[in-house]
Amino acid sequence: MPSYLPDYEKLYECSDVYSTRLFKAGIEADFEYSCALLRGDIKPSETIEVRHMRGTHTPALAIHTGFSLFLHDSIIEAFIQNQITGWETFRITLYGKNDEIIPNYSGVSITGRCNPLDYSRSEIVYREYPGGIFPRFKGSYFKDDIWDGTDLFMDNPDKRGYTLNQYVSERVKNIFDRDRD
């Protein structure tokens, strides 16, 4: 993997928004398959069925569940126009809350990579959540600062296995910020 020195000020960690109101959808498969699909370790030859799990009737342009990512064609087109790297698409059929087909969405696999996190460089902060106050790492740094330079990427496995940490470059963040306006 070629390595680029990360500018950590221009890299962002993705996270699932914990809300019962947002449209959430997922594939009907086991966890390992979903993870392998997200990481681009497998490439489905058939169209994958994605079904509404909870939330509103109307999906956002990006449906992110932590171990699945589905994007509307307008975001895919923006990625292509901006030459965003580190991703591939696969065909899906997205079903809404009433089993209606919602067109113009694709599944996304994240193919970019960085080294596993180096937690010794992160600060521990405490955040309040509905269930109480919990410690959290602030700042994500990659072991030996190794990253392949892609715009969408996940960390390589460490000795404990792989994680589902997902990151984007500032270029991807800007596409989503523009889309929100």
- Chain centroid to Cα 127, Å, comes to 22
pLDDT in tens, 91-111: 999 999 999 999 999 999 999
E-state strands within 5-148:
11-13, 24-27, 48-54, 62-64, 69-72, 87-95, 101-102, 105-110, 112-114, 123-129, 132-138
Q: Is the pLDDT of residue 178 over 70?
A: yes
In contact, 116 and 140? CB cutoff 8 Å: no
pTM for the whole thing?
A: 0.87
59 CB contacts (<8 Å, ≥6 apart)?
Answer: 23, 25, 70, 72, 94, 96, 102, 105
Residue 65 pLDDT more than 60? yes
**Angstrom distance (rounded) from CA 154 to CA 111:** 7
| Residue 165 half-sphere exposure toward CB, CA atoms < 13 A | 22
Supply the pLDDT for residue 17. Answer: 56
Mean pLDDT of 143-169: 90
**Is there a contact between 26 and 49 (Cβ–Cβ < 8 Å)?**
no
